[in-house]
Amino acid sequence: MHKYWIALSSIEEISSSFIIKLYNYFGNIEDAFYANNLSGIDSLNIKTAEKYLRLRDKVDPDKVLQEVENRGISYLTYDDEKYPYMLKNISDPPAVLYYKGNLSACNLDKTLAVVGSRRATSYAKDALAKIIGELQNTDICIVSGLASGIDTTAHKAAISNGLKTIGVIASGFDFTYPTSNKDLYKQIEDGYGAVVSEYFPTFQPMPFRFPLRNRIVSGLSFGTLVAEASLKSGALITANLTLEQGRELMCLPGLITNPNTEGIYKLLKNGASLITCADDILEALGWEIKLEQQSLFSDVDLSEDEQKIYEALEIEDKSFDELQAFTRLSTDNLLMYLTTLELKGIIKQVDGDRYRKI
């Protein structure tokens, strides 16, 4: 039966909602595929039906199934008992969910979507990485869209903290977008979760497919965390979809001078949960998970002077001169300690001569 789902999915001119409408009407996907009389289906006009039948007659179910399997792509169809139940409950679920990686290893009972700007600030990326780091080694699964910016940060933070992650893409698997995330795709597929798509492998990453992809990101998840979003952004589209799907909406606050936070504060004013730490996420979603509170210095010993430098950076970035005024260290000693702390991965240099804690 799977081959008929795949066959219908391979017709680029029809949507998942159309396929599921056929399935629901005929009650059997094989019958739906071979049906020639569609006149009884509500809201289906004659021209649409005729066009579909012409396209369908050109499809060989066995051939398209072979194309998918030859590429090493797994799949779940809408009528499969393993199809994610949270996704099945949205108004427009994918007819077929293609994937690479190990989707069954991802805990679909604790899924958190993370979305935000492709041109995210260092502040937003660092804050998000910190919060995901606080979820280290739990069974929470991070869902995002494998785009640049916040999406990339979310996936990488999940991987580095022992969490599974699901990347939802807006094309078939013949394409990697953006190409800069090629290695990240492979990492996820090779043991850190799954990359999923509703699109047949040959479908290109067309602009209109990205907003459609967002309903899957939020649809797979119990809640969505928005890390940075302007008033007109894909992240805000996902936020609205989250509310439409009856899921929890959460926001990470940012600098009010940043245009990419205008959408964040609009959502917060309208009732989204304010998130400043992992415990806020757990409270918003009603999840009971014991977080392992790990000290930054559990594996790293700091001298008294190094501790002073770290404390100076606790609230905000500081320049060399500001650090010297705070710590009262000599120029030579401060330079030495700053270099040592950078090598230990505790601080990093940003914007020229300024320093930031990691």
User: Which tens digit of pLDDT belongs to each residue from 201-253?
Assistant: 999 999 999 999 999 999 999 999 999 888 888 888 999 999 999 999 999 99
What pLDDT does 294 receive?
46
Residue 300 — pLDDT band, cuts 50, 70, 90?
Answer: low
What residues contact residue 192 under an 8 Å CB cut-off, 6+ apart? 101, 158, 159, 164, 165
Which range, of 10-19, 106-115, 117-126, 339-348, averages the lowest pLDDT? 339-348
Q: Taking CA 352 as the corner, what is the angle to CA 346 and CA 355, rounded to the nearest 5 degrees?
A: 25
What pLDDT does 297 receive?
46
Flag whether pLDDT at 267 surpasses 60.
yes
- Nearest residue to 123 via CA among 267, 257, 244, 263: 257
What pLDDT does 295 receive?
44
Give me the torsion for CA of 22, 26, 27, 33, rounded to 10°: -60
Q: Tell me the average pLDDT across 298-316.
A: 79
What pLDDT does 107 receive?
96
48, two tokens: 């649409």
Q: Tell me the average pLDDT across 327-348.
A: 86
Q: Tell me the average pLDDT across 130-143.
A: 94
Q: In what order do the strands lie in the sheet with 164-168?
A: 74-77, 96-101, 193-197, 164-168, 141-144, 111-115, 223-226, 248-251, 273-274
Q: Tell me the average pLDDT across 11-32.
A: 94
Residue 178, preceding bond cis, omega within 30 degrees?
Answer: yes
Which range, of 93-107, 179-193, 284-298, averages the lowest pLDDT? 284-298
What's the CA gap between 208 and 169, in Å, rounded? 13
Q: What percent of the chain has pLDDT over 90?
A: 67
What residues contact residue 197 under an 8 Å CB cut-off, 6+ apart? 97, 98, 99, 168, 169, 170, 171, 172, 173
pTM, 2 dp? 0.82
Q: Tell me the average pLDDT across 19-42.
A: 92
Q: Tell me the average pLDDT across 175-199.
A: 96
Return mean pLDDT, the chain. 91
What pLDDT does 296 receive?
44
Q: Give the total residue count for the chain.
A: 358
What pLDDT does 43 receive?
80
Residue 292 — pLDDT band, cuts 50, 70, 90?
Answer: low
What's the CA gap between 234 and 237, in Å, rounded? 5
Number of H helices, E strands in the chain: 16, 12
